[in-house]
Structures are given as structure tokens and as C-alpha cells.
Structure 1
Amino acid sequence: MTPISTTEDLASLCQRLRTAEYVTVDTEFMRERTFWPKLCLVQLAGPDEAAIVDPMAEGIDLAPLFELMVDPAVLKVFHAARQDVEIFVHLSGHVPHPIFDTQVAAMVCGFGESVGYETLISKLAGARVDKSSRFTDWSQRPLTERQLQYALSDVTHLRPAYEKLRRKLQKTGRAPWLEEEMAVLTDPGTYTVAPEEAWRRLKVRTDKPRFLAVLREIAAWREREAQRKDLPRARVLRDEALLEIAAHAPTTVDDLARTRGLGRSVAEGRWGTELLAAVKRGLETPAAECPTVEPRIEPPPGLAPIVDLLRVLLKMRCEDQEVAPKLVANGGDLEAIAADDQADVPALKGWRRELFGEDALALKNGRLALAIERKRVKLVPLAVQQD
């Protein structure tokens, strides 16, 4: 097997695939030493053709591929699409669309929560995936025939999986459910995180506004520097060092040099100068503009049993309807519903409300009860007395 390595051959392949109803897509990339994923291979398969593209080939222009990714007439099928889509957004500036994520579709169709590719392919395509090449360094050249076959199988096996999931969605009338989820994956905002929001990735143990203001500034500095130098965040500055700097708010080189894992040479260099400037911005942030974290509100006494009942209802409804509970509601959603009938949570909107939310409110407000009959939980409507 010879991967496509010229712009001319890539353009010819993409032109043929643009006549297909759908194209299955996968990527192989490396990210251990860089901030941005390094794209090493792109695998593509239409109903009648499959190929591997080598984006590392000298002189190749990926423009035809990017045009295919945004062709509205061709559905792009991924499994666990988030990282693959992020790569295309970074390289082309555009979100692939329309898309179909087989992992999400499998959750809608009753295959469990976050079902893995191997499990899904085994169930839907009857194929066994060769795992021996899973940890390949895809940036190395040349790749062996076995490695290339492994990569290509990711998209060839995906074809029958997609077709079976599509038919099941159509049969059950759940295609609109999936469309709601795909709207999130095709939203450019899903892949854009402002450096000023990078501090939210960190696990903080305090809600002190001044600490958070300093942390926001130095985390934003690290984010920009990591992007500029294309280095993993931890190669610029570890999370622990960021938190320590935010806690002590050093104002001199000597103070900064005492940060564990930083060292005097860094403190005295350009990074040290920029870090001290970021700390200063945080210290000078007006109190009203300091960031805040939402405090975790403990449920009022008596609410925990309601949450437990809602959890039983969720599991029952999802088993009955063959939908992964994780896709419908999480623990925070259940707590919010228990506390407020008007809670702003996905479980009380759209298809989730129809599947679970209405029953959840009825159960909470005494219009519905749970009972056990023949070792199964069932719903029992209750007559509500009028005052």
C-alpha cells in the first residue's frame, strides 16, 4: 500500500470522494512533544474506495482535503470526533461539516456510554481490530505495510458501523437527537478557548479573588507561550508551579526564583520577566474584575433522597429506551432538577425532556411513583389532590 503523497493525487481522490454520500475519516497524530497535534496520516473511505494520505510528504498541499471536509453535500463520519475535528480546525481554520460521530450515535442507540471503537466494530462490523500497531510513532517514515493496513482499517470498518447506526436511528426516529449533539461538535466555539480562560483547566482549592486574578494572568501567559513555541503546557511551566506563583504572587526575581521547579536561570530570563509582569497585572486587577469560581452548593437537607430517586428513574428510562444515561443527565443535572423545576440543564430540554425530564418533574412533584413488579421497576401515575 502506498499513501498518497502528492497534491495532484490528493486532489484526484477528493474529487472522487465528493461524489460520495459519506466519507469515513480518521487521523493519526502525535502530541507528546508539541502543543498542537502533529498530523501524521489521514485515512479516508467512501462506500467504494479507501486511501491513506501522508500529510508529512514534502510539498503536499492539503487544500483539496480541507475543501472536502467542508463540502455540505458529503457527510463526514468519525468515531469520537472531537480530537480529529480539532486538528482540521487548527490546520484549516474551518470546522468539518456535516459530521456523524459513531460514538455518540452508539450512545443514542443503546451501546453504552462512550463505547470504544474496537467494541463498536466488533458488534456492528463483526471485525476484530489488530491492536499491535496502536502505539506506533506515526511520524516515523517509512511506515510498514502492517502499520498502514492497521490505519486504513479504522475507516473501512467504520463504513458498515455507520450504515447500521444510521438505519437504526432512522427506524427509531432518533436522528434528530443525534443532530442536536452534532451541532455542538460543529460549533467553532467548541474548539476555541481564549488564553484568559486557560486557568479554568487547573484544579484550584481556593476561591480568593486576588489569587484567581494572578492565576488567570500567568495561565494566559503560559497558554500563549506554549502556542507560540508549539510546546506542551507542562514544558513551559507545570501546573504546580503556576499554582505556587499565584499563591505567593512574587514581585522580584529573587522571590520568583524560589518557586519549586522554576530555577534562577528561568527567573532571570525572558520568561521570568514576563511572568513577573503577569503577576503584576493580576495584583493590579480591580476587585470587581477579578474572576470567581462557582461555589459548590451542598444540597439542602432532604434533597439527597430525591436525587437518589431521580437516579433510579434515569437508569430505568434509559434501559427501557436503550440510551446511555450519561448522554441524558449527569449527577449535577439531577441535583439541579431536585432543587428547581426550572433548572437550566439539558435534561429538561429537547428530546431529553421527553425521554426523562417530564417524568423526573412528575416524580419529584408527587404525580408519579416508582414501584417494583416482578423484579422490575415500573412507573405508577398518581392522582394529585387539588387544594
Structure 2
Amino acid sequence: MITTTEALEEAVQRALKAGAVGIDTEFVWDRTYYPTLGVVQIGYPDEHAELIDAPKIEDWSPFAKLMSDPDTVKILHDAQQDLTILKRACGAYPKNIFDTQRSAGFVGLASTISLSELLKTLLKVRLAKSETQSNWLARPLTDRQVQYAEEDVRYSTQLMLRIMEKAEKLGRKKWILDEMSEYEEPTLYEERDPDLEMPRVRKSGSLTHQQREVLRALGAWREHKARKRNLPRSFVLSDDAIISLTKQPPATIDDLKPLKGLSEKSLKHNRDALWAAIERGRNGELPDLPNARPKGPQPDDGYEARVDFALAFTKGTCMAAQIDPALIGNRADITALVLDAEDADPAEHHILRGWRAEFCGKQLLALLRGEGSISINTKTRLPQFSS
């Protein structure tokens, strides 16, 4: 195990020289707001793998050099969560990322496929996925943990090459590279402002407008507190407590009482802050949610039929080309385009940008504007566009 910054620097130099390496993380995430890194794996093209003992590393600057190097491919599976964790650890925005899961959606497989299934399908390699619930902070690691961690990155380069080989035959190599470049967008790794998000709170349906604002204010306070103290949200304030304070708010600060999920001790320390949050919600002091105000044309009687029509065309086009429809967008994405079709701005609809526009976005927009037509291909028995 790599336990020093000097050894980490040597491993990074080997990775930079290799030009492409697999990267993965193992972490524990049960009593903290942020995942606690236990192990970081590097897999080299020769199938050699090295494990970094994350808690022992005090200076992550060598790893930052690797993650931000534009000439070295970093290969991950289901990359977003790992990249977010690594960005927090080393501070560097990632460059030149290849996501084997997402890219699989371009070559006839699901863009949500598991690593073990992808390896079995493309490389005939079978993984023993027996350590998914391991304690990755315990030391020493067991032999089975080490084997599990190494196998997650041992075949990364081979897997990328096999996917790209299939993509090149299908003429989709450029599309995959276009998609992978999205991982270089800095906003992916920035924490969102809790004031601008509706918190996820169980049993929060059927609220009045003012109750929703109180819930937002309490949720935002909880989020800030959880981040600051690196605690799970429920350790700061439970969903049950938020619902109680939202639906039956105290009339005065003195009326704040202990609740399920709000202990007497916690209330003593946070009484003023909780009261300020409740008052903030009552007084309507929070900014509007980004999507709170309707933009563009409003739904009409026929818009759901147009959405179904657009989804059928998109799904048929994807099935005929063996591309996972999930890569194009979900129902909400399609609905937004349907409602905005007459004056759609590519900056606001990712289906009208990059490879998606080339593949089906432009045709879909034309159909929604009454241009062209859709018919059933008698060979594929799937919907297709006709100009």
C-alpha cells in the first residue's frame, strides 16, 4: 500500500508515463456528510494495480497532478461520484476522463451497466464482488479486500480499448469523446447553494406555499450545518423534526420544544438558528428556486401527446442505432423541449448540442415544429424520421 507522499509521487509518475490508467475509490459513508476515503486504486495498462492508503496521505498534490493532466486518460466506471470525492481530496479539476459505464451506452449496452457485467460481456472476465460492504478504513486490509480493490482497476485500459474499438466500427468514437468532455465542466464539482434547492424531506407533500418556504429554510440551515460539521443530515435535524416544525410551527422562540429527531441538547445549541430559519421561511426571504418561475410557452391540452410522440421517436431512433435512450435524456428533458420547441435555445437543451443534436436532436426539433414526418421502418419495425 502507498502510504507516503513520496511513494504517491512515484506512482503518479508511472501513471503519467503509461498514458492511461484505471482509477477507483473505496470509501466509508455512514456517519459523515462527506464520504471518507479509505483506498484509491490505480490500474496500469499491464494489469498491475497499486493501492493508495488514503488516510495516511497528508499531501495529495501528486495525485492532483495526475487528475488534471490533459494527456493522461483516467478511466473510471460510473465516474461522477468518484470524481467528486477525488476533487475534494486533491483539489484538482479532472481532465481527460473516460467513463466505461456511460460509454457502454454508445455500443449497444446499457449506460447503467455494472462493472462486473461489462467485464463479463466484453472481456469474459468475472469479478468476485464480495467486498462491497467492507470497512475500507480498517487496517490491515484483508487479502480479499486487496483482491477486490485491485480487480476494479486491473482491466480498465483493456475495457476502454474494447469499447472504443466497437465505437470506431459504429462511427461513434467522436460522440463518446464529446460526451466524456462533459466531466471537465467545473460546475459538476461545486457544492450547490442550499438556498437554491428544494430539500428532499420525507412526507413533505401537500404543503401550503408558506409551509414550503419554511421547509426550504429549515432544509437549507440543516444542509449548511451538516457540511460544516461533516455530519449526516439526520444527525443535525431529522426529516420528522422538519415536518413537525413546518406543519406546526411555533408561535414564538420560547415555544420551540424537543421533538423526535431534535433532542433537548441539540435544541439548546441551535434554538436561535432554528427560530431564524423558521422566520426566514415565514417572511419569504429565500430567493426563488431556479425553476420556480415558468419560462416560455405553458402546457396546453395537447402537450402530453406531443411528449409521448417525441419519446416514441427518440426511443425508436436509439433502438435502431443500439444507443441507450437514457443518454439522450429523460421525460423531463423531452418535455422541456416540447414546450419550448418554437423558440428552443441549444444552450438550454442539451439534446440540441453536440453529438445528441447530430444523432436525433435536430430531427426531433423539426418534427415538433411540424417539419418532416415520422413513419415505421418496415425492416426494423421502429419509428424513423422522413424529411
Structure 2 equivalent of residue 368 of structure 1: 373
Aligned-residue identity in percent:
32
Structure 2 equivalent of residue 314 of structure 1: 314
| In 2: Cα distance, 1:200 partner to 1:9 partner | 42
Structure 1 equivalent of residue 326 of structure 2: 326
Q: Over residues 157-203 of structure 1, what are the superposed CA-to-partner deviations in whole Å (9 max), with x where a residue is unaligned?
A: 22211111223334444334334433432222112212323534447
Structure 1 equivalent of residue 19 of structure 2: 21
Secondary structure of the corresponding residue to residue 314 of structure 1: helix
Contact 1:212–1:290 (8 Å) recurs in 2: no
Aligned residue identity for 2:198: W
Secondary structure of the corresponding residue to residue 217 of structure 1: helix
Please list every run of at least 4 consecutive aligned residues from structure 1 whose deviation after the TM superposition is greater than 6 angstroms. Answer: 295-298
1:221 paired with 2:225, answer no
Structure 1 equivalent of residue 108 of structure 2: 110
| In 2: Cα distance, 1:199 partner to 1:271 partner | 22
Secondary structure of the corresponding residue to residue 76 of structure 1: strand
Structure 2 equivalent of residue 124 of structure 1: 122
Secondary structure of the corresponding residue to residue 373 of structure 1: coil
| Structure 2: gaps (5+ residues) | none
Q: How does 1:280-299 map onto structure 2 within 5 Å? A: 280-286=279-285, 289=287, 291=289, 294=292, 299=299
Alpha-carbon shift at residue 130 of structure 1 (Å) = 0.1
Q: Taking structure 1 as reference, are residues 172 and 381 closer, same or farther at Cα in structure 2, changes over 3 Å only?
A: closer
Q: Taking structure 1 as reference, are residues 92 and 9 closer, same or farther at Cα in structure 2, changes over 3 Å only?
A: closer
Contact 2:42–2:153 (8 Å) recurs in 1: yes
Q: How does 1:120-159 map onto structure 2 within 5 Å? A: 120-159=118-157
Alpha-carbon shift at residue 226 of structure 1 (Å) = 1.0
Contact 1:207–1:293 (8 Å) recurs in 2: no
| Structure 1: gaps (5+ residues) | 383-387
| In 1: Cα distance, 2:171 partner to 2:386 partner | 26
Structure 1 range deviating more: 343-352 or 95-104: 343-352
Alpha-carbon shift at residue 298 of structure 1 (Å) = 8.6
Q: How does 1:1-387 map onto structure 2 within 5 Å? A: 3-48=1-46, 49-57=48-56, 60-192=58-190, 193-202=192-201, 204-205=204-205, 209-257=209-257, 259-267=259-267, 269-286=268-285, 289=287, 291=289, 294=292, 299-341=299-341, 342-343=343-344, 344-364=348-368, 365=370, 367-371=372-376, 373=378, 376-379=381-384, 381=386
Structure 1 range deviating more: 222-231 or 331-340: 331-340
TM-score (norm 1): 0.87
Secondary structure of the corresponding residue to residue 64 of structure 1: helix
Alpha-carbon shift at residue 381 of structure 1 (Å) = 3.2
Contact 1:29–1:40 (8 Å) recurs in 2: yes
Q: Taking structure 1 as reference, are residues 76 and 380 closer, same or farther at Cα in structure 2, changes over 3 Å only?
A: closer
User: Would you say how many aligned residue pairs link Structure 1 and Structure 2?
Assistant: 377
Alpha-carbon shift at residue 352 of structure 1 (Å) = 1.5
| In 1: Cα distance, 2:75 partner to 2:51 partner | 16
Alpha-carbon shift at residue 208 of structure 1 (Å) = 5.0
| In 1: Cα distance, 2:38 partner to 2:119 partner | 23
Contact 2:197–2:289 (8 Å) recurs in 1: no
| In 1: Cα distance, 2:5 partner to 2:253 partner | 51
TM-score (norm 2): 0.87
Q: Over residues 60-95 of structure 1, what are the superposed CA-to-partner deviations in whole Å (9 max), with x where a residue is unaligned?
A: 533222222112221111111111111112122222
Considering only aligned residues, what root-mean-square deviation do their CA atoms show, in Å?
A: 2.8
Q: Taking structure 1 as reference, are residues 373 and 23 closer, same or farther at Cα in structure 2, changes over 3 Å only?
A: same
| In 1: Cα distance, 2:65 partner to 2:380 partner | 55
